[in-house]
Amino acid sequence: MAGGTAGTLIGARTPRVEDARLLRGGGRFLDDIVVPGALEAVFFRSPVAHGLIRKIDVAAARALPDVRAVLTYDDLRPLLTSDRISLALPAAGIRFNVDPFVLARKEVCYAGEPIALIVATSRRVAEDAAGLIEIDIEPLPAVGDPVAGLDPGSPKARLDCPDNFVAKTGVDYGDIDHAFAAAAHVLRERFRLGKGGGFSIEPRGVVARYDPLEDRLTVWDSTQMPHRARAVLATCLGLSEQQTRVVAPDVGGGFGPKAVFHPEELAIPAAAMLLKQPVKWVEDRFESFTATVAERDQDWDMEAAFDAEGRLLGIRGRLCYDHGASTPYGIALPFNASTNMIGPYILPAFRVSIELCLTNKTPAAPTRGAGRPQGAYVMERLLDAMARKLGVPRDEIRRRNLIPADRMPYPIPVKQRDGSLMTYDSGDYPECQRRALAAAGWRDFPARQAAALREGRHIGLGLCNYVEGTGRGPFESASVRVNPSGQIVVTTGATAQGQGVHTMLAQIVGGELGVAPETILVQSGDTQTSPLGLGAFASRQAVTAGNAAKAAAVLVARKAKAAAAHLLEASPDDLELVDGAVRVRGVPGHRKTLTEIARSLAGAAGFSLPGGMAPGLAAASDFLTAGLTYTNGTHLAEVEVDHETGAVKILRYVVVHDCGTMINPMMVEGQIAGGVVHGIGMTLFEWMRYDEMAQPLTATFVDYLLPTSDVAPRIEIHHMESPTPLNPLGVKGAAESGVIGAPATIVSAIEDALAPFNVVIRDLPLTPAKLRALVRAGTKR
């Protein structure tokens, strides 16, 4: 792609700068990192969900040839500054922080909890040794259900906590009692919503090397948040930030779990320091089911109050969340779920109490969507129930409740994490729904449905409106430097797991500097090149890093012009930056390339810099957010349901989407399509099951089903662009939006298809067996 006049690349379907390498097998993922002399590690993990370690015998494992060490908690504790890994994110409402141990000390609280670390010359030998460890665990009663776990008589999920009620929070605004007293109608529904793991196709992994000569620790970590990992490592190991470098190499998908600091990320560096040799650990898929954080069940018991026309007056209820065995990432997820429940609708009063229960399952943390799909699902199910009760069409009940465009910006009396009020900044929600209905043929559908029914086919159409708060702060960093060689380097604290972060930044910077994006080198995920950063979560990087890179590039362009004004003896006002060179307007030959300018700003011994300017053609910028910016969308799905087998086929899927100004529509569409299919998985396929002892029953991709290409539909995507006033680019995030709308849309469509059987769907996931049971329970009209 050619360069061009500055600022022209926003909105271009620029080919990705990442692809050439990745398409030829040239990616460098965690397991591709070869550190000379590295040992390989395997974890020995708890086989039970809850118990006390009576005795562990590692002698036979240690004696195996080529085994270098078998380490338990007591071996690693001397290297650590505290008993537990201090991870607590600040949170109001948390009753006690439950930070994990690097390896289990005495009590094991979930099947898969790491107990010992075997380090050997190869992974195969380490696995052989793991099989020789003998352990005696006294079983303790396990807590598997979050609702039952809050009963006063419940067993304790952890003996080191007073009870299982780990946190209480909630949302409360408006006069909820009045809303219910004045309502023409009230309805109550209960939902049990599962959501599985992130399941990036690349599992997690860590390589650590301690260099005694420089007293420095380098950790390669398949993380979304290397800066947080560095902070935790430095604190736990008693190192300074300067001694601790964390590098996220190519990361094969994140989706949330890789944002969480797991015990292995400390155990491996500690082992490398103890053994004075590099150590590598790569998770296997069984571990990604049992040891990697995932989302867990939400139990919603909700009541809606509405007037005779179907306008919402208030919603109240309780949300109980299964938090697993510890709190590695705060308690924001159910809060997100409840605030996102409000969605694009006018909700005058809202009270939800949120109760988080510890259970004996792998700790819970957000996966793509982070509670929002469940919140949107509950609201949309309530709206469909209201529509049924009043005999109002589903699109009409929504129309009566949608926030009109002329009320933007629209504040909601809910305080965010940063203390600000939740405020929708821009968008036209009714128009979004209108376009989606038109695109999917909503009006003609009843005729098509009736025709299909005459052939014995049950088809249905469903819809969902939703918003997503994106671009969470407080900041992200970026710098732009033109080296004297002419190479343009962008560094950022943002991190890449496939979103196209490098393309996005190269496109913004290339646009400002008039150079082709593929010539720009973007460095991300390295705490050494970017001392400050937050990383990938909450659909934030286009908003935060994108605007930081834009600001830095604008400063570089300005400095290039100022320097060129001296070199060309021209007024800065007469200069323009085109094709990577500053030239005098109307005199294209009279120019200085960015390379030439960078060279003169690099300085030469004893000579003065042009115009006495500061050296270097570079600038850095941190973008500070001014609150979340809200993406919105409407999804429609047409499905065909086989009422005898419970099979669901998605015939059509339409998305109308508004994430403000799009930097690269091709990549936005990629995010939406990937998110929708993730949401389809959550709705119909992905189900992490446990037995009553909290023992995982689904620990392979044979038992836990990810959506495949033959069940994923084609996703038709239409864009609206309502630029946000909250940042100079006008952009909003797009990475999680797809998953939010899918469950509610598909379930609404299935209910529509099965209307002759009076099927009402509440719980997720909806497997064929569960759907068959609902058909049997319904009565054929």
Partner 1 sequence: MSDPREIALVVNDVRHARVVESRVNLADFLRHELGLFGTHVGCEHGVCGACTVLVDGASVRSCLMLAVQAGGKNVETIEGVAAADGASHPVQAALAKHHGLQCGYCTPGVVMTLIELGRENIGKPLGEAEIRHALSGNLCRCTGYQGIVDAGLDVFGAPADKGSET
Binding status of residue 707 toward ligand FES by CB under 6 A: no
Task: Report in angstroms the alpha-carbon separations of 87 from 95, 262, 329, 532, 679.
Answer: 15, 10, 7, 18, 29
Binding mask 227-256 for partner 1 (x = CB under 8 A): -----------------------xxxx-x-
What minimum distance in Å lies between the beta carbon of 718 and partner 1?
12
What minimum distance in Å lies between the beta carbon of 129 and ligand FES?
23
Binding status of residue 28 toward partner 1 by CB under 8 A: yes
H-helix segments, 625-780: 665-680, 737-753, 768-777
Binding mask 236-275 for ligand FES (x = CB under 6 A): -----------------x----------------------
Residues 474-533 binding partner 1 (CB under 8 A) are: 497-500
Binding status of residue 624 toward partner 1 by CB under 8 A: no
Pick the closer one to ligand FES by CB: 498 or 730. Answer: 498
Is residue 409 reached through a cis peptide bond, with omega within 30 degrees of 0 on the bond before it?
Answer: yes
Binding status of residue 700 toward partner 1 by CB under 8 A: yes
**Residue 366 touches which of partner 1, ligand FES, none (CB < 5 to 8 A by kind)?**
none
Q: Which amino acid is at 268?
A: I
Look at phi and psi of residue 528 and say left if phi exceeds 0, alpha if psi is from -120 to 50, else beta. Answer: alpha
What minimum distance in Å lies between the beta carbon of 264 and partner 1?
18
Collapse the DSSP code of 84 into the 3-class scheme (helix H, G, I; strand E, B; otherwise coil) and give the result. strand
Q: Which of 1, 4, 7, 31 binds partner 1 (CB under 8 A)?
A: 31
**What's the count of helices (H) and strands (E) in the chain, helices before strands?**
20, 29
What minimum distance in Å lies between the beta carbon of 283 and ligand FES?
13
For partner 1, which stretch binds (CB under 8 A), given 11-19, 445-453, 618-626, 766-774? 11-19
**Residue 714 touches which of partner 1, ligand FES, none (CB < 5 to 8 A by kind)?**
partner 1
Closest by CA position to 530, among listed 191, 275, 733, 245? 245
Residue with tokens 């559908």: 445
The secondary structure of 256-282 as a DSSP string is SGGGSPPTHHHHHHHHHHHHTS-EEEE
Binding status of residue 669 toward partner 1 by CB under 8 A: yes
Neighbours of 23 (CB within 10 A): 9
Which pair of tokens denotes residue 708?
């495949």
Q: Which amino acid is at 529?
A: T
What minimum distance in Å lies between the beta carbon of 643 and ligand FES?
34
Q: Which of 62, 192, 285, 762 binds partner 1 (CB under 8 A)?
A: 285
Alpha-carbon dihedral sign for residues 228, 233, 239, 244: negative
Q: Report how many residues bind partner 1 under the rule CB under 8 A.
A: 58
Binding status of residue 673 toward partner 1 by CB under 8 A: yes
Pick the closer one to partner 1 by CB: 572 or 665. Answer: 665
For partner 1, which stretch binds (CB under 8 A), given 26-34, 75-83, 141-149, 237-245? 26-34
What minimum distance in Å lies between the beta carbon of 290 and partner 1?
14
| Residues belonging to the chain | 781
Binding status of residue 633 toward partner 1 by CB under 8 A: no
**Residue 313 touches which of ligand FES, partner 1, none (CB < 5 to 8 A by kind)?**
none
Pick the closer one to ligand FES by CB: 498 or 733. Answer: 498
The secondary structure of 414-445 as a DSSP string is EE-TTSPEEEE-S--HHHHHHHHHHHHTTTTH
Residue 394 phi, psi dihedral angles, 5° rounding: -65, -35
What minimum distance in Å lies between the beta carbon of 179 and ligand FES?
45
CA angle 111, 114, 120 (to 5 degrees): 130
Residues 728-747 binding partner 1 (CB under 8 A) are: 738
Binding status of residue 375 toward ligand FES by CB under 6 A: no
Which pair of tokens denotes residue 462?
């469903």
The Cα–Cα gap between 40 and 347 comes to 55
**Residue 646 touches which of partner 1, ligand FES, none (CB < 5 to 8 A by kind)?**
none
> C-alpha dihedral over 255, 258, 263, 264, to 10 degrees?
120
The Cα–Cα gap between 339 and 378 comes to 11
Residue with tokens 């949608």: 402
Binding status of residue 201 toward partner 1 by CB under 8 A: yes
Pick the closer one to partner 1 by CB: 200 or 748. Answer: 200
Binding status of residue 640 toward partner 1 by CB under 8 A: no
What minimum distance in Å lies between the beta carbon of 520 and partner 1?
17
Q: Which of 498, 670, 681, 713 binds ligand FES (CB under 6 A)?
A: 498
Q: Which amino acid is at 554?
A: V
Binding status of residue 678 toward partner 1 by CB under 8 A: yes
Q: What is the pairing mode between strands 216-221 and 244-247?
A: parallel
Residues 181-240 binding ligand FES (CB under 6 A) are: 201
CB contact at 8 A, 278 and 39: yes
CA angle 775, 780, 781 (to 5 degrees): 140
Which positions lie near partner 1, rule CB under 8 A?
Answer: 15-16, 18-29, 31-32, 34, 124, 128, 198-203, 250-253, 255, 284-285, 497-500, 666-667, 669-670, 673-678, 700-702, 706, 708-710, 712, 714-716, 738
Give the footprint of ligand FES on this chain (CB under 6 A).
201, 253, 498
